[in-house]
Copies of this chain bind each other. A is one copy, B any other.
Amino acid sequence: MESGMPGMQATDAENKESTGIEYLYNPKSIAIIGASMQRFKPGGRPLKALKDKGFAGTIVAVNPQYDEIYGTPCYPSLREVPDEIELIVVSVPASAVLEVIRQGVEKGIKAAVIFSAGFAEVNEEGAALQAEITELARENGIRLMGPNCLGLMNQTNSCMASFAHIMDLEPVEPQTLAFVTQSGAFGAMSYLEATEAGVGFSSFASVGNEADCEVADCIEYLLTDPHAEVIGGYLEGARDGDKLRSVAERALELGKPILLLKVGRTGAGARAANSHTGSLAGDDEIYTAFFKQMGIIRINDLSELIAFVHLHRSGQNFERNRLAILGGSGGHGVMMTDMCQSNGLEVPEIGGETKKCLEEVLPPFGSAKNPIDLTAAAANDPRMMGRSLKVLSAAKEIDIVLMQGFIRDKESAQEIIDIQQATDKPIVITTRHAHEEMKKPLEHLRESGVTMISEGPQAPKAIADLAWYQRKVRRAQDDATNEVIVKQKAHPVADKLLNSDGGLTEYECKQVLADYDIPVTREELARDENEAVALAAKIGYPVVMKIQSPQILHKTEADAIRLNLASEQEVRDAYQEIIENARQYAPDADISGVLVQEMLQGGVEVIIGMTRDPVFGPVIMFGLGGIFVEVLKDVSFRVAPIKRRDAEDMLEEIKGHRMLDGVRGQLPVNRELLIDCLLKVSKLVTDHRDSIEELDINPLLIYPDRACAVDALIT
C-alpha cells in the first residue's frame, strides 16, 4: 500500500505490497475516454458527476470531437493529455478498448474502469479480446475493473467512475456500507432500496466480467478503507476461492463484517465423482460451508443487509440473545416470537420481580408474559411503552429488547433515548407503516442513535446474524492464541505413494493415512494362501480378506471380499475365491495380493472424505456412514485446511449427530479422536493438494476409546 494516498488507513499500512486497487477507489487524477457532451450517456455521466460532487483531483476528457466539455479540457486521445493520469474511465466500443489500454500503458496509468460490453459475456471472440486486454494490463501493472460493468463510485472522495444513475441521488448519511456487485442492474436497485431505508454507502463497485479485479480484490481494498464499516455484496460465484478465503480471514481478524447475497443456489448440482464425498458436494453446500467457516454472513434478501447495517451501527453487543418482545398487538408478538425462535434467538418466560413490575405498568387487559402485549391501550397512553421498557431494560433475564415503534410524542421518544443511554442492552425499535403523527418522534429517536429497523422477518434474522458474527469474531481471536494440533513432521511414505503413478490399493491408502497418524485396521498383504494363513494367525481371528488391485476400486462388485473368517480353512478357501473372482471380474488387472485385516465389530460408522472443488480446492466432508450418507445425504463440509473449531462444527452440524452420543444404550463415542482424524485428514490433503483428487475413508469406526479407518480410497 502506497503511503501518502489520501484517505488511506495508516493502521493497515504494514509491509504489504500495493495491490493497485487503491487507484480504482482512490485516484489522484481521472481521464474519461469517450467523454460525451450528452450528460445522460455513459460517457457523459461520470464527467458530470465528478464535477457536481466536487472530485478534488485532476479531471480530463478524451474525445476527438471536442476541445472542452462543460469546462473540462478535452483531448483527441489519451496521448495528448498533458497531465499525469492514474485512472482512466473507458466508454468506447469494445473494438476500441485495446488501443485505449495501449495508450494507457504509454501514458503510465495505474488503473482503468471499462464500461464497454461485448467481451467474454458475448462470445469466444469477445473472450479472446478481453484476455488480450487483461494480459496487456497485467504486464504493465494496470488494474482493470470490468469490462461490461457499471463502474465504481466512491462517495467519500467523490470518485465517480461510473455511469449508474444512482450517482445523481442525494447521498444518505452516515456512509458506512461498501457494496460490491457482480450484477450492475441488481446492484443499482439494491442501492436505491438501501438508501431509501436509511443506509448510506461509502462506495459502490460493479465488477462486471471481472477480467482482472474481482469481488475479493475489492473486499481486500475495503478492509483498509476506514469508511467501509460493513461490506456487502452480490455474488454469483467466486473466481478465486483462495483469495476470498484469505480476505475473509483477514476481515474476521479485523472484525469487519462481510455480508453476501449468494445466488445460483439450485443451479449446479453435485459433480459426478468416484467417491461418496465427490458425489455429495454440490456447489451451494460448499459455499454455505465456506461462508460459515470464514465468518461471512449469507443473506437471502437485501432487507437483511439493511437491518444488519442499522444494528451494527449501534456498536452494541448482541452475543447474548434472550429477547423481550414488546408491542401493542398480541398477534404481532406471537409472530415475532416465532421468527426469533426460528432464528435461534431465545424469547424466555418472564417471571418473578420483572413480571410484578410489568404488571404495575401494563393495562388491565395486557399480557406481562413474553411477548409483552400492551394492547391498543398503548395508543391512548403514550408513556406506557417507556415505562415497560424501563422494567425490561433492568431485567436480569433479558439481554435485548425488541419493541414496536408506536411512539406518538417527543416526550415518549426522549424517555426511550434516556433509557437506552443508561444501559448497554441493545434496544431495537421496529417500524412499519408509521402514522403521520409518529414520524417526528421516530426521527428524533433515529437522530439520537437509537437503533431502528423495519418490522418483518429480516429483523430477527439480522439480530441472529450479528450475534453469530460477533461470536465468530471472538472465537477467531481466541483461536489466534491457540496452537495448531498437528505437529510438523516428515511423511516419507505418503510422499512416495502419492507421487507414484497409477492408482493406490486400499493397503497403500491405509499406509498413507497411517503416515499421518490416522489409525487404521491392523492388516497386511498376503501374496499367497500360506502367507494369508500366517497373517491371519498373527492378526488374530476373525479376519477380513479383500483383493488388492489398483484397477479394482469396487471390491464388493467384484465379489472379492470375505468377512468374518474364523479358521485357517476359511482363510484358504477365501483366498482362492477372491483371486478367482477378481480375475474373472477384471482379467487384465494388476493384482498385488489379498489384504488380511482385523475384523472390527460394533462402533459407529462414519465417513471422512475429501473432494476437490473448482473454486475452493480441497473440501473435507464428514458424515455418518451407511444409510445416513447413502439415503439421507446427512453430511457437513468445510474447506481445507480446517481448524479444531471447524471440525467441532462439522460434528455438530449433521442431523444425526446424536448417534455420536450413544443411542440404544451404547456409550458415547470419543469425539476428540474423531476431531483429530478430521484434522489429520485436513493436513494430509493440504500437504498433497495437487496430487490428491478425492479421498474417502468409509467407514471409519469410532468407539468410546478408539477410532479406526476400515476402508479407504484415494485417487
Contacts and interface: CB of A to CB of B under 8 A. Distances in A.
Contacts of A117: 365, 375
A185 B332 contact: yes
A329 B658 CA distance: 45
Contacts of A272: none
Interface string A23-64: 000000000000000000000000000000000000000000
Nearest to A284: B338
A132 B261 CA distance: 57
A335 B267 CA distance: 10
A282 interface: no
Contacts of A631: 656, 658-659, 663
A435 to B, nearest CB: 10
A337 B268 CA distance: 12
B263 A185 contact: no
A242 interface: no
Contacts of A267: 334, 337-338, 341
Interface in A328-355: 328-332, 334-335, 337-338, 341-342
Contacts of A630: 663-664
Given A182-B331, A365-B118, A266 B342 contact: yes
A108 interface: no
A705 interface: no
A342 B301 CA distance: 14
Nearest to A261: B335
Nearest to A188: B329
Contacts of A266: 337-338, 341-342
A66 interface: no
A655 B633 CA distance: 10
A267 B432 CA distance: 25
Interface in A177-201: 181-187, 189, 192-193
B118 A189 contact: no
Contacts of A432: 189
A491 interface: no
A364 B334 contact: no
A186 B342 contact: no
A107 B341 CA distance: 50
Interface in A256-282: 261, 263-267
Contacts of A634: 632
A266 B336 CA distance: 11
A96 interface: no
Query: What band does the interface of chain A fall in when counting residues whose beta carbon is under 8 Å from B?
Result: 35 or more
A550 interface: no
Main secondary structure of the interface of A (DSSP, over half): loop
Contacts of A261: 335
Interface string A133-163: 0000000000000001000000000000000
Nearest to A433: B192
A265 B329 contact: no
A658 B629 CA distance: 12
B186 A329 contact: yes
Contact of A331 (B187, B192, B655): B187
Given A122-B365, A365-B122, A630-B663, A331 B236 contact: yes
A186 B627 contact: no
A376 interface: yes
A122 B627 contact: no
B185 A118 contact: no
A234 B331 CA distance: 8
Q: Which of A181, A330, A630 has the most CB of B within 10 A?
A: A330
A457 interface: yes
Contacts of A365: 117-118, 121-122, 148
Interface in A435-473: 456-457
A332 B364 contact: no
A375 B184 CA distance: 10
A331 B185 contact: yes
B332 A186 contact: yes
Interface of A: 117-118, 121-122, 148, 181-187, 189, 192-193, 234, 236, 261, 263-267, 300-301, 328-332, 334-335, 337-338, 341-342, 364-365, 375-376, 432-433, 456-457, 627, 630-632, 634, 655-656, 658-659, 663-664
21 contacts: A118-B365, A122-B364, A122-B365, A181-B331, A182-B331, A183-B331, A183-B334, A185-B329, A185-B330, A185-B332, A186-B332, A189-B433, A236-B331, A236-B334, A264-B337, A265-B341, A265-B342, A267-B334, A627-B659, A631-B663, A632-B634
The 9 closest A-B pairs by CB, nearest first: A183-B331, A186-B331, A185-B329, A266-B341, A265-B338, A263-B334, A263-B335, A117-B365, A631-B658
Given A301-B456, A632-B634, 4 more contacts: A189-B432, A264-B337, A627-B664, A631-B658
